[in-house]
Structure 1
Amino acid sequence: MLDLATELSAWAEEDRDFAVATVVAVGGSAPRGPGAALAVDGDGTVIGSVSGGCVEGAVYELCRQALADGETVLQRFGYSDEDAFAVGLTCGGLIDILVTPVTARSPARAVLRAALSAAAEGEPTAVARVVRGPAELLGQALLVRTAGEPGEAHGRADAEGPGRADGAMRAGAVAYDGGLGGRRELDRTAAAEARAMLDAGRTGTIELSPDGSHCPDGLTLLVETRVPPPRMIVFGAIDFAAALVRAGKFLGYHVTVCDARPVFVTRARFPEADEIVVDWPHRYLRRTGTDSRTVLCVLTHDAKFDVPLLKEALRMPVAFVGAMGSRRTHAERDRRLREVGLTERELARLRSPIGLDLGARTPEETALSIAAEIVAARRGGTGVPLTGSGTPIHREAGEREAVAAA
């Protein structure tokens, strides 16, 4: 749902009634993961997608029905080969979809609108919804966000019944809006779990019992998170960098271009970059913010820039460090980095020459090869053609970790 926050927040501001279908869980080769959403308003306007086309028609009808009767429903779609008229996933997977009406009659309307507004404004946001459990709790929602913390609690989350978003409670250090049926201990546990997933930028399900303890026979909550986009920092204002900026933006990164030469790093050359920085790369990297999702692409291939920059970069807990250059350039760079004290473990993190072997020649082709390697590193892909490979097309988290460790 939060992946449609901008559009749905606008619908909420216009006081439109709408229903939103959200992917809760997938199995096998399902095309989209948990959190993917499709929404339908009272006029039949539809936005988003939950399956890449396989079950969209049936989900659309479920949304229309939810708008008519006000009921939250959980629906499973599976493989449909045995019945030519059945609705299902031709890819052979399973998909569970939660359909929630957001109307004046909806108990969670206020908290869902608050969640959409916060996410649309760029606040780190998590919303937990009951997807399995007692019928009276299905669709109840709780919102966790980091804006305004720390602070004193104000109001009562359940002062006027569950789903109120105009009051807030605190679970230890976690502030939350709304609630799950007025069950205080459950709210506190759910808020803490949602905050942990927000800190990790993860979307998925958790199992709780009605009293708030972990128990697979209790409630299932879908926790969706929305965090600011990850950073891509491109060092080196060359023609290849302009193409990589466009690729980075396409992949959803907040892209910065940094170069020490003001004549090259200009807004005219990089109109699509979010930030243009004139500074020595290593000095800028020391002072800027990075995290475990940050991607660093070093395109300078000049030792006076590369060595001090990579010395910093390879000792930082970022997601990806890649450097451009020929194999000869890489060998010389490797020698220099060893001379300044980098260890074998640190050097093993460097992806150089950067990019997958696509036979790229042009800046655009090279940017594509770099972007492909970044995606493979992030998702645990191998980079080999799917034809004849026998590897899963869509990997679960455990499979990605196994590939990364191999």
Structure 2
Amino acid sequence: MSAEDLLVRADDLRSGRTPFVLATVVRAERPTSARPGDRALVLPDGTIEGFVGGTCAESTVRVEGLRLLETGESTLLRITARDEAGMAPEGMVRVHNHCLSGGSLDIFLEAMLPALLVQVYGQAPVARALVEIGRVLGHDVRPLPEPTTPLPSDTGAVVVASHGRDEEPVLRAAMRAGVPYIGLVASKRRGAAVLADLELTDEEHDRVRTPAGLDIGARTAPEIALSIYAELIALRPRTAAATEHPHHLPACHADE
């Protein structure tokens, strides 16, 4: 795959909301088959498209790439055929791979995850503010045109801000789809009444956040929208970046 074809493929993956890791060789110490500027894509199923070295380097890039798809981090990966004393510098993952024929590779791994997909139902000022502010934050925010509109499988959040109109079918659809964040813009009293009418289990009840958003004293529509995104940020998984991997990968038979 040529460099141009690989970048076209990366654009196609982005447009299709498919996560991937872009691996770029930034340093190569001989003997290695890769050269600075070589690139590859790591897909969620472990497929590697492109070239960043032989089987030994590829196996390491696959393992680290899949890890980064889980954490959303990016890092500099150093693959060496020998142990290096001391801790890896901050921001670097260092892996000793016995099967390398020698030399070392520095490969920058950049996690390319699709933006959080937020579906907003309603035409009220809060709904409009959710669309505007969410896009400024870099989220993929889409107004939900109808309560029966199917939700994409990778929807990360559904917020209902319709002030009583068609709330129940949207909430039920979000629960059936397993959407991680479901928010209902309503007062505590009205929100509790809506959930009671849904006859939810305790687990389902806990999945719907109403009033949606953190209590920051919000009054205006933009402030309410901001409080909801603040809650989304507060609830997202937090990971600590690894700085060194002391493990050794098993030897393989291909030469670098």
Q: Is the structural similarity TM-score above 0.5?
A: yes
For residues 215-241 of structure 1, give each alpha carbon's deviation from its aligned partner in whole angstroms, at most 9, with x where no partner exists: 843477542122332211001111211
Matched, 1:179 2:52: yes
- Please report how far the alpha carbon of residue 397 of structure 1 lies from its aligned counterpart in structure 2 after TM superposition: 6.7
Matched, 1:299 2:157: no
Find the partner of 1:126 among 21, 42, 47: 21
Q: Secondary structure at the match of 2:218?
A: coil
Amino acid at match of 1:242: R
Amino acid at match of 1:314: M
- Report 1:190-201 matches (<5 A): 190-191=61-62, 193-194=64-65, 197-198=68-69, 200=70
Check whether the contact 1:307–1:333 (CA below 8 A) recurs between aligned residues. Answer: yes
Q: Secondary structure at the match of 1:126?
A: strand
Q: Counterparts of 1:140 and 1:184 in 2: how far apart (Å)?
A: 18
Check whether the contact 1:232–1:295 (CA below 8 A) recurs between aligned residues. Answer: yes
- Report 1:63-102 matches (<5 A): none
Structure 2 equivalent of residue 246 of structure 1: 132
Check whether the contact 1:231–1:290 (CA below 8 A) recurs between aligned residues. Answer: no
- Please report how far the alpha carbon of residue 173 of structure 1 lies from its aligned counterpart in structure 2 after TM superposition: 6.7
Change (3 A) 1:135 1:364: farther
Q: Counterparts of 1:314 and 1:397 in 2: how far apart (Å)?
A: 32
Structure 2 equivalent of residue 368 of structure 1: 226
- Please report how far the alpha carbon of residue 130 of structure 1 lies from its aligned counterpart in structure 2 after TM superposition: 5.4
Find the partner of 1:290 among 153, 177, 200: 153
Q: Counterparts of 1:130 and 1:247 in 2: how far apart (Å)?
A: 37
- Report 1:216-231 matches (<5 A): 216-218=95-97, 221-231=107-117
Q: Secondary structure at the match of 2:178?
A: coil
TM-score, normalised by the number of residues in structure 2: 0.67
Structure 2 equivalent of residue 144 of structure 1: 41
- Report 1:326-337 matches (<5 A): 326-337=187-198
Check whether the contact 1:232–1:256 (CA below 8 A) recurs between aligned residues. Answer: yes
For residues 292-342 of structure 1, give each alpha carbon's deviation from its aligned partner in whole angstroms, at most 9, with x where no partner exists: x6111111242x6222322232343323111110111022122112x2xx2
Structure 2 equivalent of residue 323 of structure 1: 184
Q: Counterparts of 2:127 and 2:240 in 1: how far apart (Å)?
A: 32
Amino acid at match of 1:225: A
Any unmatched runs of 5+ in structure 1? 1-109, 147-171, 259-276, 381-394, 399-406
Q: Counterparts of 2:51 and 2:241 in 1: how far apart (Å)?
A: 30
Check whether the contact 1:201–1:227 (CA below 8 A) recurs between aligned residues. Answer: no
Pairwise CA RMSD of aligned residues? 3.6
- Please report how far the alpha carbon of residue 364 of structure 1 lies from its aligned counterpart in structure 2 after TM superposition: 1.5
Q: Counterparts of 2:136 and 2:6 in 1: how far apart (Å)?
A: 25
Q: Secondary structure at the match of 1:252?
A: coil
Q: Secondary structure at the match of 1:256?
A: strand
Q: Counterparts of 1:185 and 1:232 in 2: how far apart (Å)?
A: 40
For residues 224-280 of structure 1, give each alpha carbon's deviation from its aligned partner in whole angstroms, at most 9, with x where no partner exists: 12233221100111121111110110111222112xxxxxxxxxxxxxxxxxx2x2x
Structure 1 equivalent of residue 85 of structure 2: none
Q: Counterparts of 1:301 and 1:119 in 2: how far apart (Å)?
A: 41
Check whether the contact 2:151–2:174 (CA below 8 A) recurs between aligned residues. Answer: no
Q: Counterparts of 1:301 and 1:397 in 2: how far apart (Å)?
A: 42
For residues 156-193 of structure 1, give each alpha carbon's deviation from its aligned partner in whole angstroms, at most 9, with x where no partner exists: xxxxxxxxxxxxxxxx972421222xx22332442465
Structure 2 equivalent of residue 347 of structure 1: 205
- By relative contact order (CA 8 Å, sep 6+), the higher-ranking structure is 2
Q: Counterparts of 1:233 and 1:325 in 2: how far apart (Å)?
A: 17
Q: Counterparts of 2:79 and 2:202 in 1: how far apart (Å)?
A: 44
Q: Counterparts of 2:71 and 2:116 in 1: how far apart (Å)?
A: 10
| Seq. identity, % | 28
Q: Secondary structure at the match of 2:211?
A: coil
- Please report how far the alpha carbon of residue 379 of structure 1 lies from its aligned counterpart in structure 2 after TM superposition: 5.5
Amino acid at match of 1:299: A
- Please report how far the alpha carbon of residue 356 of structure 1 lies from its aligned counterpart in structure 2 after TM superposition: 1.6
Any unmatched runs of 5+ in structure 2? 83-93, 98-104, 243-256
Check whether the contact 1:144–1:191 (CA below 8 A) recurs between aligned residues. Answer: no
Check whether the contact 2:213–2:230 (CA below 8 A) recurs between aligned residues. Answer: yes
